[in-house]
Amino acid sequence: MKEILLLKDGEIVLKGLNRRQFEDALKKNIRLVLSPLGRFEITSAQSTISVKPLDEGVDLDEACERVGRVFGIVAYSRAAVCEEKTLESVLETAPEYLAKKLRAAKTFKVEAKRSDKRFPYKSPDICRETGGAILSRFPHLRVDVHDPDVTVYVEIRDRAAYIHADAERGAGGIPVGTGGKAVVLISGGIDSPVAAYMMAKRGLKLTAVHFASPPYTSQRAEEKVVKLLQRVSRYSGAMRMYTVPFTKIQEKLRDDCPEELFTIIMRRLMMQISERIARDNDCSALITGESLGQVASQTIGALNCTDEAAEMVVFRPLIGMDKQEIIDISYKIDTYETSIEPYEDCCTVFTPKHPRTKPQLRFVKLAQEQACFEPLIEEALQNLKITQIRPDY
């Protein structure tokens, strides 16, 4: 029995004249994630994308896993293709294809969608006849139209008739690449990978920037960040990571700046360096994992001082979330266990005992200017390490 995947478009159906552009980007992203599994024919019609395997033995379970992480898809189903687009073929295919689910169920219902109006039977007729065929094959079942154990879907489309059970929930959002490009400041903690995931969900193509301070931070810490980004790239697609050598800058911060302003000035320098990398990569925004009030550098006053250092817009998708909400998403995208591995990043190096929670911008800028970090920034930018990140399927 031939099978295909039926993918339901999300909010891109509301895009009006731009809809075709979004659909093309979505199909391109689907093709990229499925290409290692074999050849597929990908077509779209009536707010549904059909993915047809062209090779024998394609792993459709793995294909479902992958398309379930593609932003722009709200639901997906693995469906049987009826041999003919006739009612007789539907009545034969439905009980056979869903036999395992129907044997394990107590109740069911049938829903039909007749997109091809030339089909001689209307939706209520299809539901009635298909339900009768199922009951004759599985007499232990009873019909429950309100809360069935299994819903049998019959879709009559232009090219064929399809049978499937309940759809799986997709990743939602809009296709990666349709919202522009942005740089995400990535650490080894819980928050920044979640922030990267959330902005990729809004269509942003990501470039990552990570700050490393050997010997205060280890190679294992950087490997941890790579692993986190590989998990994020299951959703966002491949990306490039720039590792910034930050040791000399942090040591100068420690030696030449007031201790209570260390974290604020450090964040400002990170923003300035990331903005330069962003411009070199044709990116238009920065992304951070900050949440209001979570730590001293994330108060309103501290964030004002940080934002002033960059000209680009700064996206903070976690700004109104509490820690448990962020942790819940990290579990969902499978980054939590990696994030809590005991390898520290540079944000914890030289942490002040009493950080300023209400810093005044003029004093922060004065301290930064007097220390004169520009030569060290230039040196760091000339010694960037570039790592190509791909999904760890």
The reported pLDDT for the residue numbered 77 is 95
Q: Are 82 and 93 in contact (CB under 8 A)?
A: yes
Instruction: Read off the pLDDT of residues 233-282 as tens digits, 9 standing for 90 and up.
Output: 999 999 999 999 999 999 999 999 998 899 999 999 999 999 999 999 99
- For residues 62 and 187, what is the distance between their CA atoms, to the nearest angstrom? 30
- For residues 297 and 265, what is the distance between their CA atoms, to the nearest angstrom? 10
Q: What percent of the chain has pLDDT over 90?
A: 83
Instruction: Read off the pLDDT of residues 363-386 as tens digits, 9 standing for 90 and up.
Output: 999 999 999 999 999 999 999 999
The reported pLDDT for the residue numbered 245 is 96
User: What is the pLDDT confidence band of residue 13, given thresholds at 50, 70 and 90?
Assistant: confident
Cα distances from 149 to residues 27, 92, 142, 144, in angstroms, run 32, 21, 10, 8
**Tokens 């969900």 appear where?**
201
Q: Are 275 and 306 in contact (CB under 8 A)?
A: no
What element of type H or E holds 276? helix 262-280
Statement: residue 350 has pLDDT above 90 = no
Q: Which of 67, 139, 138 is nearest to 97 (CA)?
A: 138
272 Cβ contact partners less than 8 Å away, ≥ 6 residues apart: 309, 310, 377
In the chain, what are the domains?
3-169 (3.30.2130.30), 180-389 (3.40.50.620)
The reported pLDDT for the residue numbered 93 is 97
Q: Which of 354, 349, 291, 350 is nearest to 317 (CA)?
A: 291
The reported pLDDT for the residue numbered 14 is 81
Cα distances from 91 to residues 144, 195, 208, in angstroms, run 19, 48, 52
Q: Which of 65, 68, 144, 139 is nearest to 107 (CA)?
A: 144
User: What is the pLDDT confidence band of residue 126, given thresholds at 50, 70 and 90?
Assistant: very high
The reported pLDDT for the residue numbered 238 is 96
In the predicted model, what is the mean pLDDT of residues 186-206? Answer: 96
The reported pLDDT for the residue numbered 240 is 97
Question: CA geometry: angle at 178 spanning 177 and 181, to 5°?
Answer: 50
User: What is the pLDDT confidence band of residue 322, given thresholds at 50, 70 and 90?
Assistant: very high
In the predicted model, what is the mean pLDDT of residues 343-364? Answer: 79
Q: Are 190 and 197 in contact (CB under 8 A)?
A: no
In the predicted model, what is the mean pLDDT of residues 153-163? Answer: 94
Statement: residue 347 has pLDDT above 80 = no
Instruction: Read off the pLDDT of residues 291-310 as tens digits, 9 standing for 90 and up.
Output: 998 887 788 988 999 999 99
Q: Which of 265, 262, 274, 254 is nearest to 209 (CA)?
A: 274
Instruction: Read off the pLDDT of residues 30-49 as tens digits, 9 standing for 90 and up.
Output: 999 999 999 999 998 878 99
Range of lowest pLDDT (21-25, 59-63, 268-272, 357-361): 357-361
State phi, psi for 144 to the nearest 5 degrees: -140, 105
Statement: residue 99 has pLDDT above 80 = yes
In the predicted model, what is the mean pLDDT of residues 137-164? Answer: 95
Mean pLDDT of the residues in the chain: 93
What's the residue count for the chain? 393
Q: Which of 150, 61, 148 is nearest to 103 (CA)?
A: 150
The reported pLDDT for the residue numbered 108 is 97
User: What is the pLDDT confidence band of residue 338, given thresholds at 50, 70 and 90?
Assistant: very high
186 Cβ contact partners less than 8 Å away, ≥ 6 residues apart: 192, 193, 196, 208, 209, 210, 225, 228, 229, 241
267 Cβ contact partners less than 8 Å away, ≥ 6 residues apart: 297, 302, 306, 309
The reported pLDDT for the residue numbered 193 is 97
The reported pLDDT for the residue numbered 373 is 95
**Tokens 């819940």 appear where?**
328
Beta strands in 179-253 (DSSP E): 180-185, 204-212, 239-245
The reported pLDDT for the residue numbered 272 is 97
- For residues 193 and 208, what is the distance between their CA atoms, to the nearest angstrom? 10
In the predicted model, what is the mean pLDDT of residues 314-341? Answer: 96
Structure tokens at 203: 């269509």
